[in-house]
Amino acid sequence: MFTAGLRRLACLAICGLALSLTGIARAADDDMPEAKGDAKLNAALRDVINRGADLYNSGDRNGCYRLFEGALLAVKAQMAGNADVIKVIDAGIADANAQQTVGFKAFALRKALVDVRTTLNGGKVAVAPKPEPKPEPQPEPEPEPKPKPKPKPEPKPEPEPEPEPKPKPKPKPEPKPEPEPEPKPEPKPKPKPEPEPKPEPEPKPEAGAIGNLAGVVMLAGKALGEAEITLVPASKLTDKGMSAKTDGDGTFELLEVKAGDYKVVVKGKDVPAKYTDPKQTPLTFKVQKGDNIGSFDLNK
C-alpha cells in the first residue's frame, strides 16, 4: 500500500505528464512543429526517471516502481494514436510483471521510460515478443471429510459442601497518629544554563561498504551507446576510478563500488570536452551501500 506521501508524489508525476501531453495536442491544433511538444514530454519523462531514482536510492523501491508505472500509463492514455510508443510501453509493463522482485520491476519500467524517450526522438527500439502465458494447473478435488464421532458427555462434578463459617476476630483498637513536624522549606536550586545545541555531523559511509550502480547515459535527450563512463573518487581526482561501457540503449552497470562521493566522467562520440575531464565535469554521484540507480543527461 502507498503511504500518503507516495500517493501525492505519484499523482504529481502523472499530472505533470498529462499537462505535457495536452500541450502536444494544442501545438498540433495550432500547426506548431511536433518536435517542440516531444521535447517537453522528454523533459517530463526525464524528471520522472530522476524522481524515481531518488526514491529507489532512499530505500523506497515500491514507491519508485509505482511512480514509473503511473507515468507509463499516463503516456499510453494520452498517445493512443502512436503505435510505436504503445508497443514500447506494453512490452515494458509485461517485462516488469514477469520479474520476481520490486527492485527488478522498477529497473524494467525505468528501461521502458528510456525506450519511450528514444522512440519519441526518432530512434528504434527492439521490442521482445510477449511470452505466452502457461496454463495454470487445475487443483485436484479434495476428498470429502469423514464424519467425526460424537464426543461422549463429560460427567458433571458433584457439588462440594459449603464450609462452616469461622468466628469473626475482635477488632483491635486503632493507634492514634502522632502529629507530623512541619517540613522546613528547601532552598530553590539555581537554574543551570542550557548548552547550545551542536550541529550533528553528516553521516559518513560505512568503512568497507560496497554498492552497485546501474543507470543510463543520455546526450541531448538521446541514449548514448558505446560510451565509457568512469567514477573517479572526489577526494582523489588523479585516481583511475572504475569504468564501464554503455549498451546501445545507453544503459550501464558498475558492480562492487566503494560507497562515497564520485566525479562522473563520460567519453564517447560527440561528448563535450568538459565531461571527459574529472576536474571539469559537472556530473557527480554519491554511491550508497546496496543498489543505486543513476541517470546522467549530457548537454552539448
pLDDT for 15 equals 42
Take residue 236 and report the three cell numbers written for it. 582523489
Asked whether the CA dihedral 240, 242, 245, 249 is positive or negative, the reply is negative
pLDDT for 150 equals 73
pLDDT for 181 equals 66
Amino acid identity for residue 184 in this structure: K
Q: Looking at the whole model, is its pTM more than 0.85?
A: no
Strands 210-219 and 290-298: parallel
pLDDT for 205 equals 58
In 3D space, the residue among 86, 94, 55, 47 whose CA is nearest the CA of residue 218 turns out to be 47
Binned average pLDDT, 10 residues per bin, the chain of 300 residues: 42 42 33 52 89 92 93 87 90 93 93 90 63 50 66 64 67 68 69 67 67 91 90 90 91 92 92 90 92 88
Over its C-alpha atoms, the chain yields an Rg (Å, rounded) of: 34
Please give the C-alpha separations between residue 137 and each of 79, 132, 141, in angstroms, as whole numbers: 38, 15, 12
Phi, psi of 195 (to 5 degrees): -70, 145
Take residue 273 and report the three cell numbers written for it. 570536452
pLDDT for 9 equals 43
Q: Judging by beta carbons within 10 Å of its beta carbon (0-12, 13-18, 19+), is residue 239 exposed, middle or buried?
A: middle
Q: How far apart are CA 200 and CA 249, in angstroms?
A: 42
* Angle, CA of 250, 256 and 262, to the nearest 5°: 65
pLDDT for 183 equals 66
pLDDT for 125 equals 60
Contact 297, 218 (CB under 8 A): yes
pLDDT for 186 equals 73
